[in-house]
Amino acid sequence: MLEQILALLPQVIFDGLILGFVYAMVALGYTMVYGVLELINFAHSEIFMIGAVVGVEVFRYLAPHVGNGLLLLLLALVLGGVVAGITAILVERFAYRPLRKRGTTNRLVPLITAIGVSFILQDLVRFIEGLWHNEFFLRMRTVEDLEGSVELFGGAIFAQTKSFILMGVSILMLLGLTYLVNRTKLGVAIRAVAQDLSTASLMGIDPDRIISRTFLIGGSLGGVAGVLFALQYTTITPYVGFLPGIKAFTAAVLGGIGNIPGAMLGGLVLGQLENFFGTYLPILTGGNFGTEYKDVVAFLILIFILLVRPQGLLGQVVKEKV
Partner 1 sequence: MRKIGLLVAGVAALGMALGQANVIKIATQSPLSGPQAALGEQIKLGAELAIEEAKAKFKALGFDLVLVPYDDQANPDVGVANANRIINDPDILGVVGHLNSGVAIPSSEVYARVNLVMVSPANTNPRVTDRKLPNVNRICGRDDVQGPVGAEYAFNNLKVKNVFIIHDKTAYGQGLAEEFKKRLEALGGKAVAFVGTEETSNFVPIINQIRGARPVPELIYFGGIYSQIGPFVKQLRERGVKTRLMGGDGLDASEFVRLAGKENAAGTFYTTVAGPVSAFPKAKAVAQRFKQKYGKDMEGFGIYAYDAANVILAGLEAAIKAAGDKKPTREQVAQAVRQVKMEGLTGTIEFDDKGDNKKAKYFIMQVASTGKWEDNKLIRVIEMAAPGAR
Would you tell me which residues interact with partner 1 (CB under 8 A)?
4, 7-8, 11-12, 15, 18-19, 136-137, 139, 142, 147, 149, 158, 160, 229, 233-237, 240, 274-275, 278-279, 282-283, 287, 290-292, 294
| Smallest separation (angstroms) from partner 1 to the CB of 220 | 22
Angle between helices 185-195 and 161-183 (to 10 degrees): 70
| Smallest separation (angstroms) from partner 1 to the CB of 158 | 6
Closest CB to partner 1 among 207 and 289? 289
| Smallest separation (angstroms) from partner 1 to the CB of 292 | 5
Closest CB to partner 1 among 158 and 299? 158
> Cβ distance 44 to 245 under 8 Å?
yes
Segment (H or E) for 235? strand 235-236
Q: What is the CB neighbour count within 10 angstroms for residue 224?
A: 27
> Cβ distance 237 to 136 under 8 Å?
yes
Tell me how far apart the alpha carbons of residues 217 and 238 are, in angstroms, rounded to a whole number: 22
Q: Angle at Cα 45 formed by Cα 114 and Cα 258, nearest 5°?
A: 75
Closest CB to partner 1 among 7 and 318? 7
Q: What is the CB neighbour count within 10 angstroms for residue 261?
A: 16
Closest CB to partner 1 among 22 and 37? 22
Closest CB to partner 1 among 237 and 259? 237
| Smallest separation (angstroms) from partner 1 to the CB of 242 | 10
| Smallest separation (angstroms) from partner 1 to the CB of 122 | 12
